[in-house]
Structure 1
Amino acid sequence: INGKPFGLDYELAKQFADYLGVKLKVTVRQNISQLFDDLDNGNADLLAAGLVYNSERVKNYQPGPTYYSVSQQLVYKVGQYRPRTLGNLTAEQLTVAPGHVVVNDLQTLKDTKFPELSWKVDDKKGSAELMEDVIEGKLDYTIADSVAISLFQRVHPELAVALDITDEQPVTWFSPLDGDNTLSAALLDFFNEMNEDGTLARIEEKYLGHGDDFDYVDTRTFLRAVDAVLPQLKPLFEKYAEEIDWRLLAAIAYQESHWDAQATSPTGVRGMMMLTKNTAQSLGITDRTDAEQSISGGVRYLQDMMSKVPESVPENERIWFALAAYNMGYAHMLDARALTAKTKGNPDSWADVKQRLPLLSQKPYYSKLTYGYARGHEAYAYVENIRKYQISLVGYLQEKEKQATEAAMQLAQDYPAVSPTELGKEKFPFLSFLSQSSSNYLTHSPSLLFSRKGSEEKQN
Structure 2
Amino acid sequence: MTKKSLFNRNLASRCSGFVAWCAARLPALMVLVCLLVVLPQSASARLAGPQEGWTPGESTRDLAAVRASGQLRVLVNQSRHSSGEVRGESIGVEYRRLRAFEQYLNRTARDGREVRLKLIPLPKEQLLSALLRGEGDLVAPGELLPVRRGMAVRASAPLQRDVPLVVVARQGNRRYQRLEQLAGRSLALPAGSAARDALLRINAGLKTPIVADWQDPSLAVEDVLELVHAGILPMTAVELPIAERWAKVLPKLRIDRHLQLTKKGDMSWYVQRAAPNLRASVDRFLRDYRAPADQDAAFLRVYRRLYKVHYPLGRLERQRLERVRPTLMQHARGQSLDWLLLAALAFKESTLNPAARGAGGATGLLQITPAAARSVGVANAATLEGNVQAGAKYLAMIRRRYFASAQFNERERMAFVLAAYNLGPQRVQRLRAEARRRGLNPNQWFFQVERLAAERFGMGVVSYVSSVNKYHLAFARERYRLEP
The alignment's TM-score, normalised by the length of structure 1, stands at: 0.47
The alignment's TM-score, normalised by the length of structure 2, stands at: 0.45
